[in-house]
Structure 1
Amino acid sequence: MPPRLHRAGILLLPLVLLLAACSVGPSQRPAVAYRDAEQQVAPAPLPPGPAPVPPLGPPAQDALSWEDCTEQTGSELGTPIPADVRFSCSRLLTTLDSPEAPMRGSTRTALLKAGSGPVPLVVVGDVGGEPGTTFAARMALTLPPEVLRTFHVIGLDRRGTGESEPADCIPPEQREAIVGFDPRATDRAVLDRLTDSVRDASQQCLLNLDERLQAYDTWRTAADLEELRIELGVPKLHAIGRGEAARLLTTFAERYPESVGRMVLDGALDPQLESTRGEEAQAQGAEQVFDVFAADCASRGCPLGPDPRRAVSDLVERTRTTPLPAAGTSVPAGKVVHALLLGLQDRSDWPRLAQDLADAVRGDGTALAARVAPLVSGDPLTPARLDGDMITSCNDTTTRVPPQRSAEVAADWGGKFPLFGGVFAQRLVWCGLWPVPQQKLPVPATPGLPPIPVISTAHDVLVPALGSEHMAEQLPSGLVVRWLGAGHGAVGRSGCATAAVSRFLVDGVAPAEGMACPG
C-alpha cells in the first residue's frame, strides 16, 4: 500500500459516555403498584416498537485533517478511477482500552473519504478481507450517484489491519503453514502440527503486541466508531456493514443505541450460533455456493470439464502431497481451497476463477498463488491479512476447542462438506491456544432502534442466507431483503438491492419486509 500523508488528532471519549455505556440497564422485574395495604403487580409495559427512520441530520462538522490520496488508492484498487472521483485520507487517534489498562492508551485508525455529500456514511467490511479503506473506496465506485451526492463515504481499517497499526506478528513460515495446511487432515498427530504452528503464532503475537493483543476486537472497534462519530460532529452514525462486519454494527447499536442512524447490514452471520456451529454453517453454505459455481461454469463450456467438482476435488487431493509450483512459492492443498473461497466471493470473477483452476489442474499454480498471496505475504505498507483476521476472530469468541476434539470435528465436517469442511474446522484450531476474552459479543436485543434492513444473499460463500435472515429476526427492528443472486454482498452488485438501500439511506424509505430481488 503506497504511503499516505496523515495527521493524527487526539480524541478521548468523555467519561460520561463510558458510564452511560456500562451502567446497569432498566430492571427486568415487573412494575409494582400499591393501593391501600394490598400489593398488586401491574403489567410490565410492552417494549417500544421500532423508532422512525432518523433524519439525515446536519452536515458534518469534521475536525479531522484530510490529505488527497487518489493516486495511492487507485493503485490499491488496480482499476481506473473516474476523473471526477477523488479520495482523501486521514487518521483518528482512538482509545486502546486494553483489558490490562481500561480506558487508557491509544491506537491509530486509518480513514478514507470519497463522495461530495455533506453527511458521512461509514462503510465497514470483513476483518479478514481487504483493508477497510480499500473496501470503502471500491464500494464508493459502485454506489448510485444520488448516494454520493447525499453522503461522503468513509472507510476505516479496523484495528490491527491495513494501516491501523497492523498486527504484523505471525512469522511468515507460520502463515504459510497455517494457510497451506492439508484441508483433508483428520489424523490427530497430523493436526497437532497445525496446533504447533498456531502456538508459535500466538506466542510471537503476544510477545510483539503485549497488552494490545486483546484490544484488537469487535467490542472495542465499536467504540472506535463512536469516537469517529463524535469527531465528525454528527448526532447519528449512518453505516453499511458487509458480512462479518454486521457484528461490528450490531455491537455498536447495543453499546450506543442513541447514536444509531440509517444502518444497513449487507449480509450477516447468525447471531444465535456460537463459534463451532457458526463455522459449520459457513462450511455448508460454501459447499452449496460451489455447486452454483459449477453449474454456472458448465453452462458456459467450463474449462474444468463436464464435472467441475470432480476436477477441483482431484486437484485438492493431488496437492496434498505434491504442491503446485509458482514463482517464489508453492501452492499446497490448503492454499487451493483458500484461493477458491476468495474467488467465489465475486460472481463476475467466476469465469477467471474457473480458468485459474483449470491452469492449476494442468500444473500451473501461478494464478492461485496470486489469489492467496494477500493472506500470507505483506510488508509494512501492505500487511498480510491473516494476522488481523486470526487475532480479531479469536478475541471475538469465548469458544475454545481442545486439541483432542479437533480430529473428530475435522473428520465429521470433512465427510459432510468435502471441499470446505476441513478449512472451516481448522479455524477452530486457530483459537485453541489464544487467551479467552473477558466478555462475549452481545446478541442484538435493544428495542426501539430505527428500522435496520438486513440483506440475505441466496448464494454467499462466507455468509449463509439463513444466518442473515436469523439476524433480521433477532433484531427488534430488522427487515429482511432477499437477493436471489450469488456473491459476497449485494450492495453494488444487485441493482434491485442497491436501489432499495439507496432509497433507505437517501430518502429514509425503509424497504418492505421480505422484499425479494431477482438474481
Structure 2
Amino acid sequence: MDTRRLLRTGGVALATVALLLSGCSGPDEPDPGSSTGAADPSPRLSDDRAARDVAPLEPLPEKIPANLKPYYEQKLTWKDCGVPGFQCGRLRVPLDYAAPDRDEDLHLAVTRKRASGPGGRLGSLHVNPGGPGSSAVEYVQLSAGVGYPAPVRARYDIVGMDPRGVGRSEPIECLSDKEMDSYTRTDVTPDDQGEIKKLTTAFEEFAKGCEKRAGELLGHVSTVEAARDMDVLREVLGDDRLTYVGASYGTYLGATYAGLFPSRVGRLVLDGAMDPSLTSEQLNREQTEGFDTAFTAFAEDCVERRDCPLGTENAKDAGRRLGDFLERLDTRPLKTGQPRELTESLGTVGVLNAMYTEYYWPKLRSALTAAMEDGDGAELLSLADDYYQRDANGSYGNIMYANAAVNCLDLPAPFEGPAEAKRAVADFRRASPVFGRNFAWAALNCTYWQQEPTGEPRRIEAKGAAPILVVGTTRDPATPYKWSEGLAAQLSSATLLTYDGDGHTAYVRGSDCIDSAVNGYLLRGVVPKDGTKCS
C-alpha cells in the first residue's frame, strides 16, 4: 500500500492528506463501453454552471517560438535513481516563458520507469498526484510506477515530473521547521480582535518568509507555467501528444494543458476534477460542503458501531459532539506524550485528514476515542503530522509552501481582509456546521501574499482536443462531484465517468468498474458511455 498526496485549494492548515492506493486490475479488462455500469440519462448539470460568464482560456500558437526551441530540442540525460527500475533526469525550462534567459533557467526533476511489456509500447504516461505541491517523482517511484495496473505499466513508460517549486524541482521554502510548528498551531477560529490579529500576523509572516527564501521564483510557479513545462517534456520524450493521468489539482494542471495545447492532447484522465471557472471564494466554500458530505458519511458509519466515540444516535448529533470537542481544544489542548500539545487547529486537521479516504475511518475512530475518552491527543496529532508531511524528527517537506505559492498565484484571494472573512463565516457554516468557521478564516491566507496573482477563473474548452475522460466521485471531500460535472461540461470533448462512493478520487482505489473503464481508455482509446456510473 502506498500514499499519494492530494491537496485542497487554499487555507492555512487545510492542505494535504494521504490517500491510500490499492488494487490492480488484471490483464484482461472488460470493454468499458459495455460493463462498467449503468448510464445515467439525467442532465450532467442541474444549474447554469456551464454557462457562467467567464472568459475561456485561449490556446497558445501551435508553432513553437524560436526563442523556446532550444528547450524543446534538448536531450535528457538519464541516470540511475538509486530506486530499482527507475531512471532520473533534469529538464531545463525557462523561469519566464515571456523572456527566456539561460542564466535564470530552472532544472526540473523527472523520473520514469520504462514500459515492461508484453505488448507494443504506447509512449509515455505522465502522472501528477495533485497538490499543488505533491511530488510526482515520489509518487511515480513509490506508487504509480509499481502500483498502476500491470497492463498499463506494460505498455507505457510511467513518467513523473515535479512541477517548478515542488519537491526536487527548485523547491520553495518559507519557514524553518520550528516556525512551521508554531504556524500549524495558529488558531484558525478567532474569537476576538486579538486572535484575529494573531491569525493575520501568522499569514503575513508566512508570506514574507516565502518571498525572502524563494525570491523571483515565487512569481513563476503558476499552473499555466507548469503546463508549459509539461509540453516541453512531452516533446523531449518524443511523444507527439500528451497522455496523462492527473488527480485532484492534477486535473486542473491537465485541463490547463488541454486548453493551451488542444492539438497535442492524447489520452487525458482527469480524476477528482477541479472546476477552473470558479473563484477562490467559490472553491473554498464548495469544498467546505464537500468535507461536510464526507464527514456525514463517516458519521453515519460511526454511529452504527457500538464503540463510536461520537455517540450512537445520528450523524447530526455526532457532528455536534465533534464540534464541541474541537471547541474545547481551543482553551484546553490535550497532552500527546511529547512537548507539542493537540490544539484545536491540529485536532481539526487530524480529523480532515481522515475524510479523504474511508480507509482512515477506523484510525480516526481510534484517535477520537483516545482523545475524547482518555485525554490522549497523540493519535490525532499523528494524523495532523501526516497531513503536513512532518516527520518524526520534526522536519517538514515543502508541500505546504508550494501549495500556497501556486494557489495564491493562480487566483485572486477570496477576501480582501478579516472583515470580509468574518462576514463569510455564516455562509461557510451553512455549508458545514463543523468545519465552516475554520474554512472561512483559513481562506484569508492569500490575502497577505507578496506576489500579485497572474491567473483568474477561466472556462477551459480545449476545442479540437481528442476525447478526454473526467472521473468524479459523488462523496469526494476535497474536489466535490459538481466540480467534475463542471469541468466535463466545459471541455468540448469530455466524457464524465462517475464513481458513486466515498473518498478522494477513484482510479486505482479498489473499484474494478472504474479501473476497467480507465484502463480501456488508456490502452485502447475506448471512451465509456457518457454518464456511466460505477459503485
Q: TM-score, with normalisation over the residues of structure 2?
A: 0.78
Q: Hey, what does 1:503 align to over in structure 2?
A: 520
Does the aligned pair in 2 maintain the 1:98–1:215 contact within 8 Å?
A: no
Is residue 64 of structure 2 the alignment partner of residue 17 of structure 1?
yes
**Distance in 2 (alpha carbons) for counterparts of 1:271 and 1:300:** 40
1:318 to 304, 320, 328: 328
**Distance in 1 (alpha carbons) for counterparts of 2:364 and 2:394:** 29
| Higher relative contact order (CA closer than 8 Å, sequence separation 6+) | 2
Does the aligned pair in 1 maintain the 2:76–2:91 contact within 8 Å?
A: no
Is residue 136 of structure 2 the alignment partner of residue 132 of structure 1?
yes
After superposition, the C-alpha distances for 1:428-479 in whole angstroms (9 at most, x for unaligned) are 2110021222343642122111111111101111000011111101111111
- Within-5 A mapping of 1:383-422: 383-403=397-417, 404-414=419-429, 416-422=431-437
**Distance in 2 (alpha carbons) for counterparts of 1:244 and 1:146:** 26
Does the aligned pair in 2 maintain the 1:92–1:109 contact within 8 Å?
A: yes
Q: Hey, what does 1:278 align to over in structure 2?
A: 283
Q: Hey, what does 2:298 align to over in structure 1?
A: 293
Q: Hey, what does 1:52 align to over in structure 2?
A: none
Q: Hey, what does 1:212 align to over in structure 2?
A: 217
Instruction: Give the structure with higher Rg (CA).
Output: 1
How far the C-alpha of 1:212 sits from its partner, in A, is: 0.8
Does the aligned pair in 1 maintain the 2:471–2:498 contact within 8 Å?
A: yes
**Distance in 1 (alpha carbons) for counterparts of 2:151 and 2:321:** 45
Q: Hey, what does 2:359 align to over in structure 1?
A: 348
How far the C-alpha of 1:300 sits from its partner, in A, is: 4.2
Let me know the Cα RMSD of the aligned residues. 2.8
Does the aligned pair in 2 maintain the 1:289–1:460 contact within 8 Å?
A: yes
Does the aligned pair in 1 maintain the 2:189–2:441 contact within 8 Å?
A: no
- Within-5 A mapping of 1:2-401: 17-18=64-65, 63-70=76-83, 86-97=85-96, 105-114=104-113, 116-117=115-116, 118=121, 119-128=123-132, 130-136=134-140, 137-172=142-177, 174-185=179-190, 187-304=192-309, 305-306=311-312, 308-326=318-336, 327-361=338-372, 362-374=374-386, 375=388, 377=390, 383-401=397-415
Does the aligned pair in 2 maintain the 1:121–1:152 contact within 8 Å?
A: yes
Residue type of the alignment partner of 1:134: E
Residue type of the alignment partner of 1:334: S
How far the C-alpha of 1:296 sits from its partner, in A, is: 1.9
Residue type of the alignment partner of 1:122: H
Q: Label 1:220 to 1:230 Cα distance change in 2 as closer, same or farther (>3 A).
A: same
How far the C-alpha of 1:103 sits from its partner, in A, is: 5.9
Residue type of the alignment partner of 1:113: R
Q: Label 1:423 to 1:87 Cα distance change in 2 as closer, same or farther (>3 A).
A: farther
**Distance in 2 (alpha carbons) for counterparts of 1:350 and 1:409:** 30
Structure 1 stretches lacking a partner, 5+ long: 1-13, 22-60, 72-85
Secondary structure of the structure 1 residue equivalent to 2:64: helix
After superposition, the C-alpha distances for 1:343-373 in whole angstroms (9 at most, x for unaligned) are 2212222212221222222222222222222
**Distance in 1 (alpha carbons) for counterparts of 2:491 and 2:170:** 33
Q: Label 1:426 to 1:154 Cα distance change in 2 as closer, same or farther (>3 A).
A: farther
Residue type of the alignment partner of 1:316: L
1:436 to 452, 464, 487: 452
Q: Hey, what does 1:478 align to over in structure 2?
A: 494
Q: Label 1:230 to 1:186 Cα distance change in 2 as closer, same or farther (>3 A).
A: farther
Q: Label 1:113 to 1:303 Cα distance change in 2 as closer, same or farther (>3 A).
A: farther
How far the C-alpha of 1:289 sits from its partner, in A, is: 0.7
Q: Label 1:113 to 1:202 Cα distance change in 2 as closer, same or farther (>3 A).
A: same
Aligned residues: 451
Residue type of the alignment partner of 1:417: S
Q: Label 1:187 to 1:269 Cα distance change in 2 as closer, same or farther (>3 A).
A: farther
Structure 1 stretch displaced more, 334-343 or 507-516? 334-343
**Distance in 1 (alpha carbons) for counterparts of 2:173 and 2:226:** 18
Secondary structure of the structure 1 residue equivalent to 2:286: helix
How far the C-alpha of 1:514 sits from its partner, in A, is: 0.3
After superposition, the C-alpha distances for 1:65-113 in whole angstroms (9 at most, x for unaligned) are 1314337xxxxxxxxxxxxxx34333323222178x5566222222232
How far the C-alpha of 1:222 sits from its partner, in A, is: 0.7
Residue type of the alignment partner of 2:136: G
**Distance in 1 (alpha carbons) for counterparts of 2:97 and 2:174:** 18
Secondary structure of the structure 2 residue equivalent to 1:221: helix
Q: TM-score, with normalisation over the residues of structure 1?
A: 0.80
**Distance in 2 (alpha carbons) for counterparts of 1:102 and 1:397:** 24
After superposition, the C-alpha distances for 1:183-214 in whole angstroms (9 at most, x for unaligned) are 43354442222111111111121122221111
Q: Label 1:110 to 1:372 Cα distance change in 2 as closer, same or farther (>3 A).
A: farther
